[in-house]
Amino acid sequence: MSEHRTGAPGRVKEVTSLANPLVKDIKALALKKFRDQQNAFMAEGLKLVIDALDLGWTIKTLIFAKSALGNAAVEKIAARTVALGGDVLEVSEKVLTAITRRDNPQAVVGVFSQRFVPLKDIRPKGNDVWVALDRVRDPGNLGTVIRTIDAAGAKGVILVGETTDPFSLETVRATMGSIFAVPVAKASPEAFLGWRKDFAGTVAGTHLKGAVDYRSVDFGNRPVLLMMGNEQQGLPDNLADACDKLLRIPQAGRADSLNLAVATGVMLFEIRRGALKL
Ligand code: SAM
């Protein structure tokens, strides 16, 4: 467990006005432009914030509802935030609702620094499994995939091309905290294809025209890179051609395809079958 000290201890402030500049900055995190400008994102819930600090994420600001005053766990995390150099805001219900854009908001919200793992630092070994998502569009899909990667014990995700933001509130919510446990990389298709050349393992693509039943493959004891296609278009030819195999999940019934996150879950639990024990 490591905690990154940011220097001087932080501040504790009571805020009730929506016009407060600190509140305005946090509300702006709803937009990607401001998340990127501030290199920040928001995560809701006491347990998530505790987990994030335990995993060494840098907290910029902790926001908690006045109604949580006196709650020992909240006061402990507030003290921890101040010691780490973060700010603590004690706010009204009205301010929390505005920040999180939802009624009945969680009593605790954390603002953290964003973190991407550089592609060049990903060097899979053993039976590591990584997932590459081609131009994923839907925040709920991305969050669900990140949560599923965590649950299956895969290593992380590489976002290829123009994608939805892993640090949007909607994606972070759908990860249910796994955003703090699953490394995320992003790459242009060209950079990804360059990196793929040195990937010493099986590159398994999934495709509706795949010739191989995913259940017939022996993934063995070597790294696997699972490549999943865009929700509307599937894998483009340049990515499909870079795969060692194109696998299909056989279907019955009338649906043309599975939802991206569901297909990723089916594949991950098959690839990780030997590593999962009750
Ligand atoms: N219309 C798209 C197409 O033609 O590929 C459908 C894409 S599907 C919603 C999103 C991704 O999930 C696909 O690119 C593929 O990676 C995966 N997928 C969904 N159903 C699948 C299946 N039955 N077999 C293999 N992959 C599947």
Token pair in block for residue 19: 């016009």
Nearest CA to ligand 1 atom 22: 249
Residue range 18-43: mean pLDDT, rounded = 96
Both tokens of residue 137? 């569009």
Ligand 1: nearest atom to the Cα of 235? 14
Ligand 1 within 6 A of CB of 248: yes
Could you give the percent of the chain with pLDDT greater than 70?
97
Ligand 1: centre distance to CA 114 (Å) = 30
DSSP 8-state symbol, 263: H
The answer to whether the beta carbons of residues 132 and 268 sit under 8 Å apart is no
Cβ(260) – ligand 1 distance below 6 Å: yes
**Residue 212: strand, helix, or coil:** strand
**For residue 60, which phi and psi values (nearest 5 degrees)?**
-95, -45
Q: In 3D, which of 95, 50, 97, 44 has the Cα closest to residue 75?
A: 50
Binning pLDDT at 50, 70 and 90, where does residue 1 land? very low
Residue appearing with tokens 């056989």: 250
CB of 115 closer than 6 A to ligand 1?
Answer: no
The pLDDT assigned to 12 comes to 83
135: nearest Cα among 41, 205, 235 = 235
Query: Could you read off the pLDDT of 99-113 as tens digits, one per residue?
Result: 999 888 999 999 999
Q: Tell me, in angstroms, the distance from the centre of ligand 1 to residue 149's CA.
A: 18
Model pLDDT, residue 11: 79
The CA distance from 37 to 95, in Å, is 22
Tell me, using a 6 A CB cutoff, whether residue 185 lines ligand 1: no
Three-state secondary structure along 115-140?
Answer: CCCCHHHCCCCCCCEEEEEECCCCHH
266: pLDDT confidence band, cut at 50, 70 and 90? very high
Specify the amino acid at residue 96.
Answer: L
* Residue in 88, 89, 77 with CA at minimum distance from that of residue 16: 89
8-19 tens-digit pLDDT: 676 789 999 999
pLDDT tens-digit series, residues 173-215:
999 999 999 999 999 999 999 999 999 999 999 999 999 999 9
Q: Report how far Cα 261 is from the mean position of its chain's Cα atoms.
A: 13
262 C-beta closer than 6 A to ligand 1: no
At 116-170, the pLDDT tens digits run: 999 999 999 999 999 999 999 999 999 999 999 999 999 999 999 999 999 999 9
pLDDT of residue 7: 52
CB of residue 205 inside a 6 A radius of ligand 1? no
- Whose tokens are 């089916």? That residue is 266
Pocket test for ligand 1, best of 141, 243, 257 (most atoms within 8 A of CB): 257
Cβ 206 under 6 angstroms from ligand 1 = yes
Whole-angstrom distance, CA of residue 273 vs CA of residue 72: 41
Predicted confidence (pLDDT) at residue 4 exceeds the cutoff of 90 = no
pLDDT, one tens digit per residue, over 223-256 is: 999 999 999 999 999 999 999 999 999 999 999 9
- The mean of the pLDDT values for the chain is 95
Report whether residue 204 contacts ligand 1, using a CB cutoff of 6 Å: no
